[in-house]
Amino acid sequence: MGLAMTLMLTLVATFGYTALHQAKQIEQTFHDFFQHPFTVSNAAGQLRYAVTKSQLILTNQLQSLTPSQHYGFHQNVETLNTDINRQLQIIQSQFLGDMDKIHQLEKLLEKWQKYEMEIHLLITDQESEKAKHLFQSKMVLLNEQINVLTDYILGFALNKAKQYESKAMQSSEQSTRLLTQAIMLTLTVIITILGYLIWYFYQYSERVETRALTDKLTGLFNRAFLEAELPRQFNLADEETSSVYTMQVIDVDNFKQVNDTYGHNIGDQVLVTLANELKHHFRKDDIIVRWGGDEFVLILPNTSEIEALAIAESFRARLEDMPIQTDKGIIYFTVTIGISEFLLSEPIKQAFERSDAALYQAKQRGRNCVASYKSLTPQSDH
């Protein structure tokens, strides 16, 4: 029982650990799913914002640029380049899509830095119109490339979000299924354990009851069983029929002498032999009981006293000629039997007293014989 419970609980614990481990993996996957696309899309948005903002600022500066403002224009361009590079690094480190568009933007940035130097030289040479024209044309190209990249990234992020939504639903269903399986397995184990405990205690109570109603030496029922069984049969019997029962009280002749001569072990062997012969000789419906000591009681349903007398005589004669092989040689034993009819409705004590009276009469005749209660004279009844 202990081993079975340990194995079942181990199985539940293993299954539960597996379910928790898978749930943790799902949680980590969700974290990765929802972190990267939105981190990248945020960087793309920041990139677009930085370029648009810088384009407005630089355009306004070029409109009213004086020599004293050359340094401020250059600083703003450097700020723009720094913002672009920072956001590109974020995108490159976490983007899971096509990297060609990023490489194209990087090449364009390299060219932009060269153009920025040209613009700076034009401004220094007081050729502001040429500088403005070159800035606007190259800025348009840069802006277009950044728009292409950010549109692609945002579209990619949106597509990923839809995929992750679908995966989230699948993972939710999987988690629910795992949880359901774990609960069902736990309930199955609990029900199995409870069923086993019920069966075990039922078997145990049956064994206890059997031991209480069984003679340990012979394996026959004992007196307590007979006192409970006859009233039960009476309750089950048809009230309109009054079946006749016969009780036989069987006593081993000179049993004390057997014990004194051969020892109690051989005396027990005689009793076991008699019990086995009773089991083999009589019907399944007959009730065989060891009443106590060397006395046995036999109940024969639907049997008259005359019929029981013939049955008892046949059994007595069989035992008379049956040798018993012991460690002290072959021995023989005989029995004396008293018989009486009775009804299930009457107390068992009365039936036993009549059969016991017949047994006493048989012993008075010299033992190793059978006597019925109806054959007794009033003087012989005790």
Please classify residue 228 by burial: count the beta carbons closer than 10 Å to its beta carbon, then call 0-12 exposed, 13-18 middle and 19+ buried: exposed
Helix (H, G, I), strand (E, B) or coil at 65: coil
Which listed residue (294, 327, 356, 381) is catalytic? 294
In terms of DSSP H, where are the helices of 263-373?
Answer: 264-281, 305-320, 348-364
First-residue to last-residue Cα distance in the chain: 57
**Among 277, 152, 305, which residue's Cα sits nearest to residue 218?**
277
Q: Which residues neighbour 50 within 8 Å (Cβ) at sequence distance 6 or greater?
A: 80, 83, 84, 87
Contact 101, 152 (CB under 8 A): yes
Identity of the amino acid at 114: K
In order, the DSSP letters of 233-253 are: HHHHS-TT----EEEEEEEET
Helix (H, G, I), strand (E, B) or coil at 290: strand
Radius of gyration of the chain from its Cα atoms, rounded to whole angstroms:
54
Q: Which residues neighbour 233 within 8 Å (Cβ) at sequence distance 6 or greater?
A: 301, 344
Contact 331, 349 (CB under 8 A): no
Contact 336, 358 (CB under 8 A): no
Whether 294 is catalytic is yes
- Length of the chain equals 382
Helices 2-63 and 128-212 pack at an angle, to 10 degrees, of: 170
Task: Answer left, alpha or beta for residue 329, where phi above 0 means left and psi between -120 and 50 means alpha.
Answer: left
Q: What is the rounded CA–CA span in Å between residue 170 and residue 165?
A: 9
Helices 100-124 and 70-94 pack at an angle, to 10 degrees, of: 170
Joined together, the tokens standing for residue 58 give 């630089």
Active site residues: 294
